Amino acid sequence: MLWQNRAACNSMPTDLFFPGKNGITDKQYWQAHIVCKECPVNIDCLKEALNNNINSGVFCLPERVRKRFKNKIIKNFNETIREAFKVLEIMDPEFDSNGKLYKKRCLRCNRFCKGFALDFENWGARSHICVSCYIEIENNKHIDKLLEIEKKPSKSMPEFDNHGLLISKKCTKCWQRKQAKDFTKRPKGIGNKTSWCKNCLNKNLQDWHDKKNANA
């Protein structure tokens, strides 16, 4: 059986994956991404596009994202696809009435905002890093740090208000989303708060004391 016959998109409208006269909107790209992520043959699909130099349409990944892999030897397709989808999952995008990308989450500061620089090799033709972070990084000459953070985005998924103040985030111990007041202050933490919530910190401290007393 051909791999195309087992594709998740096999019985779906082709206009979701291939641009017509009006092209594909960012929202359609996102809908296609949801389908491709769970597709059992997404590796075969990506290989088909790369091996045949297909420059349009969604073959596991949008053509803009596939541009990164041109003239490169991919040793592990599973890892490549997993990393690409991991970044997309964290973006949490919003679209306007025309299907254009309106807001998304910065992969460095994790703020949900509008200001992103143009990047035509990226999803939505926008950088993963917001303009504020780019300016800060350029000023501090931390380009290498930017690349490192982009590969390893925060798992706490913080939410900020319009003034950049932390509203809530996930505790990386119990993985529950909690309000900013439920975390202890920490200047170098995301949102100036600890990674663990107060309850988890207190429980960890109590367990440490109990273990110490038991060994006394």
Residue type, 124: G
Distance, CA of 179 to CA of 94 (rounded, Å): 23
Name the residue ranges covered by the structural domains of the chain. 3-153, 156-216
DSSP string, 68-129: GGTT---S-HHHHHHHHHHHHHHH--EE-TTS-EEEEE-TTT--EES-EEE-TTSGGGEEEE
How confident is the prediction along the chain (216 residues), in pLDDT tens digits per residue?
Answer: 588 889 999 888 888 888 777 777 888 888 888 888 889 998 899 888 888 888 888 888 888 788 777 767 778 888 888 877 877 777 888 888 888 888 888 888 878 888 787 777 677 778 888 888 877 777 665 444 444 444 455 678 888 776 667 888 999 999 999 999 999 988 778 888 899 999 999 999 999 998 888 887
> Which of 85, 50, 42 has its CA nearest to residue 71?
50
Q: Is the pTM of this model over 0.85?
A: no
What would the two tokens of residue 11 be? Answer: 């019985």
Residues 6+ apart with CB under 8 A from 39: 7, 8, 9, 45, 60
